[in-house]
Amino acid sequence: MTDLMCGYIMDAAEFRRRGREMVDYVADYLENIEQRPVYPDVEPGYLRSLIPTEAPMEPENYDDIIRDVERVIMPGVTHWHSPYFYAYYPAASSYPAMLADMLCGAIGCIGFSWAASPACTELETVMLDWFGKMLQLPECFIAGTHGHGGGVIQGTASEATLMSLLAARCKAVRWVQASNPKKSEAEIFSKLVAYTSEQAHSSVERAALIGGVMMRKVPTDNCFAVRGDILKEMVEKDKAAGLIPFYFCATLGTTPSCGFDSITELGPICNGENMWMHIDAAYAGSAFICPEFRPLLNGVEFADSFNLNPHKWLLVNFDCSTMWVKNRADIIGAFKMEPLYLKHENQESGLVTDYRHWQIPLGRRFRSLKMWFVFRMYGLKGLQAHIRKQVALAKEFESLVRADKRFEICAEVILGLVCFRLKGSNELNQKLLKMITKSREIHLVPCQLSGRFVLRFAICARATESRHIQQAWQHITQLTFELLQEPNH
Ligand SMILES: *Cc1c(COP(=O)(O)O)cnc(C)c1O
């Protein structure tokens, strides 16, 4: 029994021992993850019956807690890092990032201002510059020492989109009021229109809901891309009706099919109409560090803000969503609040960044440590190799699908996502997915493309190799065989 009066629970000596044990547990977990079913077999509410209804009054034993990880937690875990996980888009993971996250927890600072922990702010600014250069972003997005642009780490792409929309809204109000000083903010809000692809992520529509502005869904072409002429047409129509187009969110690498909006066409339209262009490249953006994929980002020079998730495809564990703005005053100026307890004497110098102005919450973690560790351990070459390997695995899966005449590919395979289906009805494909999900050998999710039910096969885990792809395809064709044997399938 521990001595409660002096608060002894775990001292440094025990932390050292338990820490080593935990590292072993984590390494064992990841090394042997293939042996666990990728998708849990539990019913909603499974967990409540496995643990007490109240928190313990007396301190418990660490060994009991660890035992309960396997008893209570693991049965309900979807193993995102299993090589049999092909759902959604990847969640990045690497050992250097996990170690950096440990250090982040140890420093445990809340980096809302420069003074709250200077290293936390300064490393972030420099990492976003490093990364911006790896992506060959135009100079205007790089903070450097004199730039007007710069980058920030948001928690998620959803927050980056929301921030850009709110900054654009603020800018639009100021712009309208410059010529109509009597117009109220509420009156202007009711006329503002934002646009995004019908294929955009749901978080984009949600940003407009939160921001209290209208949002129009722009139809896409047969490659699931938004083209310039159609946006132009919608903008003209809205202007003629007395509305104020102010924001367009482009997607590079849409969630359903990894489609790419034509930003070289859309950018000049947005610039000409005084509309903020934000680019959401949450998944695909990481690939732009490879010269062969960088042309997909051409047109970024027209954007006001650009975002991608290293926590999806660049080996940095969640959460880490990098966002750059061309003019940081646009974003800082939109939400500035300066209570006395957050003021510090250096902030007037103009050299310091107070990241709290760039985001919704006040508090923020030391997330740039993860980027620093990963960038240095892998180097640009190692990161490029990771992207290329996963794209090659997707191409391998694509050729397996193409070689089977019962199946069709539903969207061009550009990066690590393959959209495919059985030739035939939506019901048939729904049945196939149900069989796949039920068997729990691999895990994937569907999408809807032009009214058709489509299966998405995304290369996700860092540990995925060719043999897993071959095995997954064999499994899918075996289930297909069984499905097509059924009478009146
Ligand atoms: C995954 C994804 C998002 C959401 O990312 P979060 O970081 O979870 O908010 C947004 N947009 C696209 C295109 C995505 O693929």
| % of the chain surpassing 90 pLDDT | 90
Check if 125 has its Cβ closer than 6 Å to any atom of ligand 1: no
**Which of 88, 154, 283 is the pocket-test mutation for ligand 1 (most atoms within 8 Å of CB)?**
283
Least confident of 287-291, 327-331, 431-435: 327-331
**Which of 251, 255, 447 is the pocket-test mutation for ligand 1 (most atoms within 8 Å of CB)?**
255
Contact 293, 415 (CB under 8 A): yes
CA–centroid distance, residue 390 to ligand 1 (Å) = 19
pLDDT score at 350: 59
Chain centroid to Cα 46, Å, comes to 29
Distance separating alpha carbons of residues 387 and 312, to the nearest angstrom: 11
Positive or negative: CA dihedral 223, 224, 226, 230: positive
Question: Does the pLDDT of residue 348 top 80, yes or no?
Answer: no
Residues 6+ apart with CB under 8 A from 281: 251, 252, 253, 288, 297, 306, 307, 308
**Which of 263, 309, 312 is the pocket-test mutation for ligand 1 (most atoms within 8 Å of CB)?**
309
Chain centroid to Cα 322, Å, comes to 9
Residue whose CA is closest, atom 4 of ligand 1?
Answer: 157
Question: Does the pLDDT of residue 307 top 70, yes or no?
Answer: yes
Q: Which domains does the chain have, with CATH numbers?
A: 12-35+40-77 (1.20.1340.10), 109-365 (3.40.640.10), 375-485 (3.90.1150.10)
Contact 328, 355 (CB under 8 A): no
Taking residues 271-293, what's their average pLDDT? 98
Q: How far apart are the first and last CA of the chain?
A: 64
Least confident of 98-102, 131-135, 223-227, 331-335: 331-335
Q: List strand residue ranges (DSSP E) for 167-283, in order.
A: 192-197, 214-218, 244-251, 276-280
Question: Does the pLDDT of residue 6 top 80, yes or no?
Answer: no
* Arithmetic mean of pLDDT over the chain: 94
Amino acid at the residue 94: S
pLDDT digits over 167-214, tens only? 999 999 999 999 999 999 999 999 999 999 999 999 999 999 999 999
Say how many CA atoms lie within 13 Å of 1 toward its Cβ.
4
Query: Which whole-number Å values give the CA distances from 212 to 152, 160, 177, 193, 373, in the listed order?
Result: 25, 17, 18, 10, 40
Check if 309 has its Cβ closer than 6 Å to any atom of ligand 1: yes
CA–centroid distance, residue 90 to ligand 1 (Å) = 11
Check if 321 has its Cβ closer than 6 Å to any atom of ligand 1: yes
DSSP 260: B
pLDDT digits over 366-397, tens only? 999 999 999 999 999 999 999 999 999 999 99
- Both structure tokens of 266: 């859309």
- Please state the atom number of ligand 1 nearest to the C-alpha of residue 254: 13
- Both structure tokens of 178: 């410059």
Distance separating alpha carbons of residues 291 and 136, to the nearest angstrom: 9
- pLDDT level of residue 4 (50, 70, 90 thresholds): low
Residues 6+ apart with CB under 8 A from 485: none
pLDDT score at 228: 97
- Please state the atom number of ligand 1 nearest to the C-alpha of residue 321: 7
CA–centroid distance, residue 280 to ligand 1 (Å) = 8
Contact 327, 167 (CB under 8 A): no
Contact 90, 312 (CB under 8 A): yes
Residue whose CA is closest, atom 14 of ligand 1?
Answer: 282
Distance separating alpha carbons of residues 268 and 135, to the nearest angstrom: 21
CA–centroid distance, residue 252 to ligand 1 (Å) = 11
Contact 307, 285 (CB under 8 A): yes
**376-131-100-314 Cα dihedral, nearest 10 degrees:** -90
pLDDT digits over 250-260, tens only? 999 999 999 99
Cα angle: 270, vertex 271, 274; to 5 degrees: 80
Least confident of 95-99, 102-106, 143-147, 328-332: 143-147
Check if 39 has its Cβ closer than 6 Å to any atom of ligand 1: no
pLDDT score at 7: 55
Question: Does the pLDDT of residue 340 top 90, yes or no?
Answer: no
DSSP 316: P
Taking residues 268-297, what's their average pLDDT? 98
Residues 6+ apart with CB under 8 A from 108: none
- pLDDT level of residue 410 (50, 70, 90 thresholds): very high
CA–centroid distance, residue 285 to ligand 1 (Å) = 11
pLDDT digits over 433-476, tens only? 999 999 999 999 999 999 999 999 999 999 999 999 999 999 99
Q: What are phi and psi of 248, to 5 degrees?
A: -130, 130
Contact 285, 254 (CB under 8 A): no
Q: List strand residue ranges (DSSP E) for 300-405, in order.
A: 305-308, 321-325
Distance separating alpha carbons of residues 315 and 97, to the nearest angstrom: 7
Check if 246 has its Cβ closer than 6 Å to any atom of ligand 1: no
pLDDT score at 1: 46
| % of the chain surpassing 70 pLDDT | 96
- Both structure tokens of 461: 């885990």
Check if 117 has its Cβ closer than 6 Å to any atom of ligand 1: no
pLDDT score at 90: 97
- pLDDT level of residue 145 (50, 70, 90 thresholds): confident
Distance separating alpha carbons of residues 347 and 354, to the nearest angstrom: 8
Taking residues 135-154, what's their average pLDDT? 92
Taking residues 321-344, what's their average pLDDT? 84
Question: Does the pLDDT of residue 288 top 50, yes or no?
Answer: yes
Query: Which whole-number Å values give the CA distances from 36 to 31, 32, 461, 470, in the listed order?
Result: 11, 8, 14, 19
pLDDT score at 489: 65
Of the candidates 88, 257, 79, which has an alpha carbon nearest to the alpha carbon of residue 157? 88
Residue whose CA is closest, atom 2 of ligand 1?
Answer: 282
**Which of 154, 201, 307, 322 is the pocket-test mutation for ligand 1 (most atoms within 8 Å of CB)?**
201
